[in-house]
Amino acid sequence: MREKFMIKIAHRGVSAQAPENTRAAFEKMLPLDITWLETDIDITSDGQLVLIHDASVNRTSNGNGKVNRNTLQGLQKLDFGEWFSPVYQGQQIVTLDWLIDFINLHQLNVNFELKTDVQGEQQNFYLMRIHKAFLRLNPNCQIIVSSFNVPLLKKFHALMPKVATGLLVDGPITDSHLEQAQAVDAAYIHPDVSFLTQEQARILMNKGFKLNVWTVNDPKTMARLNEWGINAAFTDFPAGVTV
Ligand code: G3P
Ligand code: MG
């Protein structure tokens, strides 16, 4: 049995128990012995950074339309909790600024996922706003910035080279992913649990990458990954899955 336990990262907050990426989902972490969370950053039409997984608000709110076509004030009028349960009616979209205050107050660590499809000048603005926001993080807060979007992650790395980066991989890991990981100077690779084999994990770790695997909601898989020496697992059930 491995002595050092894998880190559990609350995926979109404690998203099994509260609506993802809401204050309620982040606040659910506090009574747990969980110090890492994952969240997704997008930008509104008026240049405000907000935490939401999908490019549109359709699935997780009572509204419709793309995040980057709405102002923050418009998005704040929507309900982001009721789709999950009536108990969470009234949850609003969360800003990155709010989360940074929360992280600083509770001494949490974060994996920020760059999740936007804005391009060109708007994309540069998105990265500049993130840069500015990160300056407010406590110096002892550990962060990893990850993305499936390699050109975007590369631009982020050029802007903030001291921040650890993670390459998100959707599907089997190939040699071209390794080249991409090297191009963004990634300390971490974030593989999809459905495709990762023990042999592949071993090869990647021997190359010096730390592995943070998504999304692990089953205790047996959690225990297996722990035995493999994986660094961390993203989970919707940080309280409920035990190693
Ligand atoms: O960062 C881990 C995981 O969140 C990546 O996939 O689609 O849930 O953002 P997704
Ligand atoms: Mg994510």
Residue 61: which CATH number? Answer: 3.20.20.190
The tens digit of pLDDT for each residue in 210-240 reads 999 999 999 999 999 999 999 999 999 999 7
pLDDT exceeds 80 at position 146: yes
Domain assignment present for residue 45? The answer is: yes
Partnered with residue 147 across adjacent β-strands are 167
Report, as an integer, the average pLDDT of 21-35: 96
Give the pLDDT score at 225.
97
Domain assignment present for residue 241? The answer is: no
What are φ and ψ of residue 128, in 5° steps?
Answer: -65, -40
| Tally of domains within the chain | 1
| Ligand lying nearest the CA atom of residue 215 | 1
Reported for 152-156, long-range contacts at CB under 8 A and 24+ positions apart, including other chains, are 152/114, 152/116, 152/123, 152/127, 153/114, 153/184, 153/186, 154/183, 154/184, 155/123, 155/124, 155/127, 156/114, 156/127, 156/130
Domain assignment present for residue 140? The answer is: yes
Testing ligand 1's pocket by substitution, the residue of 53, 149, 194, 196 carrying the most ligand atoms inside 8 A of its CB is 53
Domain assignment present for residue 240? The answer is: no
What token pair was written down for 222?
Answer: 């959690």
For atom 7 of ligand 1, which residue has the closest CA?
53
C-beta separation of 114 from 52 below 8 A: no
Domain assignment present for residue 243? The answer is: no
C-beta separation of 6 from 211 below 8 A: no
Give the pLDDT score at 93.
98
pLDDT exceeds 60 at position 242: no
Q: Which atom of ligand 1 is nearest to the CA of 111?
A: 1
**Residue 3's pLDDT band (boundaries 50, 70, 90)?**
low
Q: Which atom of ligand 1 is nearest to the CA of 234?
A: 2
Report, as an integer, the average pLDDT of 132-146: 98
Domain hosting residue 175, numbered range = 7-235
Report, as an integer, the average pLDDT of 22-38: 97
Phi-psi region of 84 (alpha: psi -120 to 50; beta: other; left: phi over 0): alpha
C-beta separation of 50 from 94 below 8 A: yes
Q: Which atom of ligand 1 is nearest to the CA of 214?
A: 2
C-beta separation of 218 from 241 below 8 A: yes
Question: What is the pTM for the complete model shown?
Answer: 0.96
Testing ligand 1's pocket by substitution, the residue of 152, 168, 196 carrying the most ligand atoms inside 8 A of its CB is 168
The tens digit of pLDDT for each residue in 50-104 reads 999 999 999 999 999 999 999 999 999 999 999 999 999 999 999 999 999 999 9
How far is CA 137 from each of CA 33, 41, 225, rounded to the nearest angstrom? 21, 16, 31
For atom 6 of ligand 1, which residue has the closest CA?
214
CA 171 – CA 218 distance, rounded (Å) = 19
Domain assignment present for residue 2? The answer is: no
What token pair was written down for 201?
Answer: 């994990």
Model ipTM over 0.95: yes
Domain assignment present for residue 205? The answer is: yes
Q: Which atom of ligand 1 is nearest to the CA of 40?
A: 9
Average model confidence (pLDDT) across the chain? 96
For atom 4 of ligand 1, which residue has the closest CA?
11
The tens digit of pLDDT for each residue in 153-194 reads 999 999 999 999 999 999 999 999 999 999 999 999 999 999
C-beta separation of 74 from 7 below 8 A: no
**Residue 1's pLDDT band (boundaries 50, 70, 90)?**
low
Domain assignment present for residue 88? The answer is: yes
Ligand 1 lining (C-beta closer than 6 Å): 11, 38, 40, 53, 113, 146, 168, 190, 214-215, 234
Residues of 44-76 as b/e, b for ≥16 C-beta within 10 angstroms? bbeebbbbbbbbbbeebbebeebbbebebebbe
Give the pLDDT score at 243.
41
Report, as an integer, the average pLDDT of 117-142: 98
Testing ligand 1's pocket by substitution, the residue of 11, 36, 117 carrying the most ligand atoms inside 8 A of its CB is 11
